[in-house]
């Protein structure tokens, strides 16, 4: 059949419609592909930005944790806690950080660029700035940390305030707190408390068997700084509380030397002539059972003071620190259980009211002294033992009769002594010690130096922009 003009026209129209449809479909497919590519590219960019942002935030968090941990370990004396003093202390203590700098009259400390470890793709910078007056005591400090993802250059910023924290009174919450080993050496040797938790014990000795219980009783908690499985040796004893691993609390710096005065009456060597009121002892001396000693008893280094027959002490014994590197410590030797009564301050003008207040709550303040308790007796007296906290270098207790410490604590400051055994600074081979706490118990403060550290105030923790706005 021969195609007519009508048939040819219809066929041309069909081919034109198919071409147009194909072009339209290609355009649609291209548009969809372009849209999908744009979406994928945007998604990739967002993922990459999220990754870079997370890396920058990780660097920022690392910087916050690094500085918070480092600064919390730096202890600053209360007397050195002015704003500029804190910054100088930190700069000196962190001199190992490369590039550490300063500006603005010692009220600002700058860490320009710290890479957490070799090859890291992140870094951080930090600025510590004293808040408030430059010389304000115990200032808060603003810490601003900027973390950077080094590959992309993306940055994140966090600010937080550091506030001073004083934990030096924590050791007085224990019945016995020691830097060295504590050995309850016999089955009858106890650490008792009234109430029971007053008989808690702490040793910050870093090696094995920091506390040894040889069969007696500890009525409160046992606290050590390393694994209790190796730091606390219990040979059949009884623990009324919990055995704990704790962060080591700060032992304060005790400062008894400031209480020396030439106006104190100097006792002649072993002449044993009273009155015994506000005295200083510069050579070996013995007190007898009929002696009553009042006020401040100041003992020079290298002296042995013996208490025979249980004389009554109505005062505070202060033992002078011989100084760094000196070995001339003093010995307080008690024959029988010590007998301390309420402190009586003679009205002779030799001891100021400020000193009396500073020594409130102490029986013995001698962080380098050796206390030796032997014999027996005094166990049933209401005045048995010490009437306040006892601060010593080392202590050894023998014989019978519990040694009471009324409204106080036993603080042993020596971590290298060998009283009865290697490293032992508190050796109990008699009946032991009982800590009696009443509502009148106070933590003494005046005779020690507070040790401060700065920690993050979590409520101030926030992310900021480059210009510092939240």
Q: What is the pLDDT of residues 235-268, one digit of tens each?
A: 999 999 999 999 888 899 999 999 999 999 998 8
pLDDT at 4: 56
pTM reported for the whole predicted model: 0.78
pLDDT of residue 378: 45
Beta-strand (E) ranges in 121-276? 122-130, 141-149, 155-166, 176-178, 181-184, 190-194, 201-203, 211-213, 217-218, 222-224, 232-234, 238-239, 243-245, 253-254, 265-266
Please state, in angstroms and as integers, the Cα–Cα distance from residue 82 to each residue in 101, 296, 451, following that order: 19, 32, 13
pLDDT score for 329: 85
CA distance 423 to 402: 24
pLDDT at residue 330 in the model: 93
The three-state secondary structure class of 24 is helix
pLDDT at 325: 65
Indicate the range of 95-104, 152-161, 281-290 predicted with least confidence: 95-104
Query: What 3-state class would DSSP assign to 42?
Result: helix
pLDDT at 29 over 90: no
- DSSP annotation of 31: H
User: Can you tell me the mean pLDDT for 344-350?
Assistant: 93
User: Could you tell me the CA-to-CA distances from 142 to 129, 162, 165, 174, 440 in Å, in that order?
Assistant: 5, 6, 15, 34, 39
**How far apart (Å, rounded) are the C-alpha atoms in residues 164 and 138?**
6
Query: In 3D, which of 362, 359, 343, 452 has the Cα closest to residue 411?
Result: 362
List the single range of 21-35, 128-142, 327-341, 409-423 with lowest mean pLDDT.
21-35
What is the arithmetic mean of pLDDT over 112-137? 85
User: Would you state the pLDDT for residue 242?
Assistant: 97
User: What integer pLDDT is reported at residue 467 of this predicted model?
Assistant: 62
């Amino acid at each position: 059949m021969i195609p007519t003009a009508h048939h040819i026209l219809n066929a041309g129209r069909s081919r034109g419609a198919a071409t147009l449809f194909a072009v339209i479909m290609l355009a649609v497919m291209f548009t969809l592909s372009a849209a999908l590519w744009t979406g994928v590219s945007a998604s990739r960019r967002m993922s990459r930005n999220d990754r870079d942002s997370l890396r920058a935030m990780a660097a920022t968090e690392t910087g916050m944790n690094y500085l918070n941990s480092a600064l919390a370990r730096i202890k600053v004396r209360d007397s050195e806690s002015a704003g500029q003093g804190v910054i100088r202390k930190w700069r000196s203590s962190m001199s190992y950080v490369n590039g550490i700098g300063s500006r603005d009259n010692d009220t600002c400390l700058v860490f320009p660029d710290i890479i957490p470890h070799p090859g890291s793709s992140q870094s951080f910078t930090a600025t510590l700035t004293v808040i408030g007056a430059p010389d304000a005591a115990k200032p808060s400090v603003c810490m601003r940390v900027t973390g950077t993802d080094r590959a992309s250059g993306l940055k994140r910023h966090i600010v937080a305030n550091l506030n001073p924290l004083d934990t030096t009174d924590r050791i007085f919450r224990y019945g016995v707190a020691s830097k060295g080993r504590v050995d309850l050496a016999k089955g009858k040797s106890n650490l008792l408390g009234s109430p029971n938790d007053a008989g808690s014990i702490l040793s910050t000795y870093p090696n094995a068997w920091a506390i040894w219980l040889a069969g007696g009783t500890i009525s409160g908690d046992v606290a050590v700084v390393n694994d209790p499985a190796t730091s606390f040796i219990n040979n059949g004893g009884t623990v009324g509380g919990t055995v704990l691993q704790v962060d080591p609390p700060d032992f304060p710096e005790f400062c008894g030397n400031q209480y020396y005065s030439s106006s104190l009456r100097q006792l002649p060597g072993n002449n044993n002539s009273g009155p015994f009121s506000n005295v200083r002892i510069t050579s070996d001396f013995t007190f007898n059972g009929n002696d009553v000693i009042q006020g401040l008893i100041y003992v020079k280094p290298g002296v042995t003071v013996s208490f025979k027959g249980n004389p009554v002490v109505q005062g505070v014994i202060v033992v002078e620190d011989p100084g760094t590197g000196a070995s001339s410590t003093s010995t307080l030797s008690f024959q029988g259980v010590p007998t301390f009564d309420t402190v009586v301050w003679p009205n002779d003008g030799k001891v100021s009211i400020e000193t009396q207040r500073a020594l409130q709550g102490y029986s013995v303040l001698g962080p380098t002294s050796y206390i030796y308790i032997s014999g027996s007796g005094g166990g049933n007296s209401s005045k048995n033992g010490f009437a306040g906290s006892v601060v010593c270098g080392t202590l050894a207790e023998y014989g019978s009769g519990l040694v009471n410490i009324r409204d106080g604590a036993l603080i042993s400051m020596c971590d290298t002594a060998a009283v009865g055994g290697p490293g032992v600074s508190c050796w109990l081979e008699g009946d032991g010690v009982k800590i009696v706490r009443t509502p009148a118990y106070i933590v003494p403060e005046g005779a020690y130096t507070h040790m401060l550290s700065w920690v993050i105030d979590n409520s101030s923790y926030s992310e900021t922009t480059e210009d510092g706005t939240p």
